[in-house]
Amino acid sequence: MIKPTFIRDFLTHHWTPLKRGDFLKSPLAKGNERGCISPFERKLMGVLICLAITLIATFITNDLMACGPSFNQTTFTYSVHPDFPLADYAKGNLGIVQPTYARSYLYVAYRYFSGIGFDQDEQKAIVSLWDDRLNFGWEQDGTDWIKQWQDARSKVPNTGTPPEIRVYSEINGDWWVQYLNYKEDAFLTATKTLNTMIEKFGIDSPDVLDWVLAQDKVFSNSSKPDYSNPPQVNMPSIPDPVKPDADGLIKANRAYQIASANFYSGNFDTAENMFREIASDKSSPWSKIAPYLIARTIIRKSTLSAKPGTVDIGTLTQASEELNDILSNNNMVDLHPSAQKLLSFVTFRLDPEGTLQELTGFIIKKGHGEILKQQVDDYTRLLDGFLEKYRYLEETDQIQNASQYFNELSGIREEDVTDWIITFQFQGDPWLEHAVDKWSETSSLPWLVCVLSKINSDHPNFSDLIESSSKVKQNSPAFPIITFHKLRLMLESGEKDQVRDELDSLLENNKLPISSHNLFLALRLKLALNLDEFLKYAPRTPAGVTIDADSMEIPQTYDQELIDYANKHTFLDVDSGRVLDEQMPLSLLKEIVTKEILPENIRQEIAKGAWLRAILLDNEKMSKELSPILANLVPELKQSLDAYISENDSEARKFTAIYVILKFPGLQPYAGVGFSRRTPIDKIDSYRDNWWTSFKPEEEKDVVDREYYGMGYEITGTLKVIYPENSPWFPDFLTDAQKASSRGEWKKLYQIETAPNYLCTQVINWAKKNPSDPRVSEALHLAVKSTRYGATDKNTSSFSKQAFQLLHKQYPNSEWAIKTKYWF
């Protein structure tokens, strides 16, 4: 069995700009640097998934769990990271900061809440960190670096076709585990050296040609892996030494090439010795950089030569000594920035707790510019590691251990920024009590934010906290989150009128990020005084179009048409969608679709759902009244709906409706949330998003009498703070009669089977009574088809067989019988 941990271990411990991909950590590790996928990890995981599927299909013959694709989804409020562009967040436009944000975003929030903020250089550094982690594009495989080198190479006559260059290499010939072998600097250095050689010796010089061919060997130490065969250990590609009487520069350059080739091929001892020789040769142009290359070679030896998932502590300690020698030498001041970065990497692994404390003191001070990027990167990754254990305990319901671990974390919580980030993220009594103590002790804005985000309106400090919240000015970076939680708490305490007035004023003068604006709309929705108000605050603008892979909220980039559609429309979020689909009776839904308060795309979905629901409930009066409304909103249905209305009797009208439903699999008895079904209404969706599934959950099949019926919408993510109990919500303006009507409709809907079973039953019954109806053969064909492409259950196959046999018995020579070769 392939273990996913070997990838994580490699990426955690091997020195490469990839570092580790945080998405490989447990998805339960909320608040870590999730959603940060390196390009290589995307490619590697793609290979792993494809191989795993192939292996499973090849070797396992029993029932398999389906492995589905990732789908586009409408994200109304980001929970893993702030809205885009992230530069706005870096400038202090924080909006409603979420405890589930990755910790680098919470660090930024803390600095703004504390009044420290960031200068422009620091903002650029932190945005660069986020861009590297999220990496919206696909694989950065070094193509641009290689091309720049090959363009320079092509100027030299007789060099021939350049060899293939790969920037990644396999560890010990294992193509499962790769690292970035050739960085951009390697190609920049080669290009610069070639230009120097041409300037001194001339472009037609044999010495220049010889150097280029030697450089080809240097860049040939990452061979292309053969995925169809067992991994092979690559043979080193080392240039030959030059003649003893060669020019001094040619000798020096060749020595550097040979040392580099040994470095890239993994001959680290040889490379180290050669770089030491170069360092001692003061006539070599490479002698000044050689001490840095010695340390870098030792680091690679420590990580790549050790057992996967480990580092050689002794060798890494040696690298630390080499780097400290460089940093203490004023004659090597040009190497200090690069050496400091390498030393940070080394101490990161040798003394994680000490490094965390040191970094904490560093990152809370202003004016570090570009260096801040690496320091925050290291700080958050170290913090993630320390917090894994607690998050596991919390997510596995071992909360009885929370207090113990709260105390265990005291060592890393000495600095206020770390204490605040951890406390803001974690839930439970010890964290709430600690937040209250810190706020009482400091009266600081960060701790006010922390306490407000955790309490309910029955908390003893409620009044004092509301009073303190009201003093926060509108120009404060904390104003949105403070105001949101203040209003949330006031709503819980019953102060609806005041909350409504403040929300109306805030939304009218809104300059908030979309995610935050949507949360304020959700809060305002709960205060709707009438139907028109509800419809006004129900639509939401998507914060983004994302891919539902591991809840990482990765922005979707490849379907521009879909993104453009999302940017031009509003949609229902789960709170408003749940009310419309679960609490509104048909009579009210009919009224809603005639009101232009809602945008047309939402009214289309509500109208389709209401009409189909009326058919399922046998509410002919309502379905007839809805038909012209639906035909106006969805013109492609007009002809079919006209035929439905023109039928002379109820039984014929019902079959016509069934015929329409079969021909339009995009008809579904609900409005839904987010994007509507993207497949055209008259086409079969490839992923079985056709018609409906049974309204009754599998575990409730025997439940007959319930107080509440619904679609099973679940409040998740950021909306949970507004609906902590995930309980059904009936708007205040609904009358008792409307609520009773809605419950009655749902009680009937709960008895209706999944679409294929229901449709087959209806068609079979009509076909037996009306065999001469010219539509019957097609309807039977479509009914069988629904059992292939609709939501099925254990009984569906029986219905499919009945429809199939009736079709072939009554209409054996029809085109529809010929097209229907199987039942399912």
Phi/psi for 178 (5° steps) reads -125, 160
* Mean pLDDT computed over 117-133: 94
Give the tokens for residue 757. Answer: 């079973």
Distance (Å, whole) CA 686 – CA 690: 9
CA 524 to each of CA 340, 496, 506, 510: distance values in angstroms, whole numbers, following the listed order: 51, 10, 11, 14
Whether 189 shows a pLDDT value over 90: the answer reads yes
- Predicted local confidence at residue 289, as pLDDT: 96
| Cα 322 from Cα 339, distance rounded (Å) | 9
Instruction: Tell me whether the omega of the peptide bond preceding residue 85 falls within 30 degrees of 0, making it cis.
Output: yes
CA separation, residue 296 to residues 11, 123, 253, 258, 629 (Å)? 18, 29, 19, 16, 72
Quote the tokens at residue 586. Answer: 């048909």
pLDDT at position 12 is 27
Distances (CA, A) of 585 to 248, 356, 737: 90, 57, 10
Question: Among 298, 389, 279, which Cα is nearest to 345's?
Answer: 298
Q: How many CB atoms lie within 10 A of CB 83?
A: 20
| Residue 394 pLDDT grade (very low, low, confident, very high; cuts 50, 70, 90) | low
Asked if residue 398 has pLDDT above 60, the reply is no
- pLDDT number for residue 25: 28
Distance CA 668, CA 659 (A): 14
Q: What is the pLDDT of residues 61-118, one digit of tens each?
A: 333 333 445 678 889 999 999 999 999 999 999 999 999 999 999 999 999 999 999 9
Token pair of 78 as six digits:
């980001």
Q: What is the SS3 assignment for 663?
A: helix
Domain boundaries, the chain: 88-115+382-565, 142-287, 569-745, 753-824
Q: Quick: pLDDT tens for 772-781.
A: 999 999 999 9
Name the DSSP class of 582.
I
- Give just the sign of the alpha carbon dihedral 745, 747, 748, 753: positive
Please tell me the chain's helix, strand, coil percentages from 3-state DSSP, rounded to the nearest 5: 60, 5, 40
421 pLDDT higher than 70: yes
Residues in the chain, how many? 824
Q: What is the rounded (10 degree) CA torsion for 572, 575, 580, 584?
A: -170
Task: Name 171's bridge partners.
Answer: 174
pLDDT at residue number 22? 29
- Which amino acid is residue 525, in one-letter code? L
Say how far apart CA 787 and CA 759 lie, in whole Å: 9
Mean pLDDT of 492-512: 93
Q: Answer whether residue 508 shows pLDDT above 70.
A: yes
- Residue whose C-alpha is closest to residue 290's, from 276, 270, 306: 276
Report pLDDT digits (tens) over 296-351: 999 999 988 766 556 788 899 999 999 999 999 999 999 999 998 898 888 888 88
Of the candidates 427, 450, 425, 422, the residue with the CA atom closest to the CA atom of residue 437:
450
Q: CA 327 to CA 338: how far, in whole Å?
A: 10
**Own/partner pairs, 384-387, CB within 8 angstroms, 24+ separation:** 384/22, 384/25, 384/29, 384/32, 384/33, 384/103, 385/352, 386/352, 386/353, 386/356, 386/412, 387/29, 387/31, 387/32, 387/422
Q: Burial level of 276, CB count in 10 A (0-12/13-18/19+)? A: middle
Dihedrals phi, psi of 812, to nearest 5 degrees: -60, -30
Amino acid at 149: W
- 3-class DSSP state for residue 233? coil
Residue 160 has pLDDT above 70, yes or no: yes
Q: Is 555 helix (H, G, I), strand (E, B) or coil?
A: strand
Tens of pLDDT, residue by residue over 17-73, are 222 222 222 222 345 553 333 333 333 344 333 333 333 332 333 333 334 456 788
- Supply the mean pLDDT for the chain: 85
Helices (H), 514-599: 514-525, 531-537, 560-568, 574-578, 586-592
Instruction: Report the pLDDT value the prediction gives residue 304, as an integer from 0 to 100.
Output: 83
Out of 137-146, 379-388, 411-420, 739-748, least confident range = 137-146
DSSP-H helix ranges across 409-444: 416-425, 429-442
AA identity, residue 11: L
Measured CA to CA in angstroms, residue 342 lies from 319, 324, 329, 378 at distances of: 9, 10, 16, 12
Does pLDDT of 196 surpass 50? yes
Is a pLDDT exceeding 70 seen at residue 703? Answer: no
| pLDDT tens digits, 439-479 | 999 999 999 999 999 999 999 999 999 999 999 999 999 99
pLDDT at 177: 67
pLDDT of 774-820, one tens digit each?
999 999 999 999 999 999 999 999 999 999 999 999 999 999 999 99
What is the three-class DSSP state of 382? helix
Confidence of residue 716 (pLDDT cuts 50, 70, 90): confident
* Confidence label for 175 from pLDDT (cuts 50, 70 and 90): low
Q: How far, in Å, CA of 298 to CA of 316, rounded? A: 7
The pLDDT score that the predictor gives to residue 3 is 26
- The residues, any chain, with a CB within 8 Å of residue 566's CB and separated by 6 or more, are 74, 542, 544, 545, 675
Query: Cα separations (Å) of 713 from 446, 462, 672?
Result: 34, 31, 9
**In the chain, count of helices (H) and strands (E)?**
36, 7
Consecutive H or E run containing 771: none
Over residues 352-383, the pLDDT tens digits come to 888 888 889 999 999 889 889 988 998 998 89
What separation, in Å, do the N-terminal and C-terminal C-alpha atoms of the chain show? 34
Lowest mean pLDDT among 26-35, 406-415, 471-480, 689-698: 26-35
pTM beyond 0.75: the answer is yes
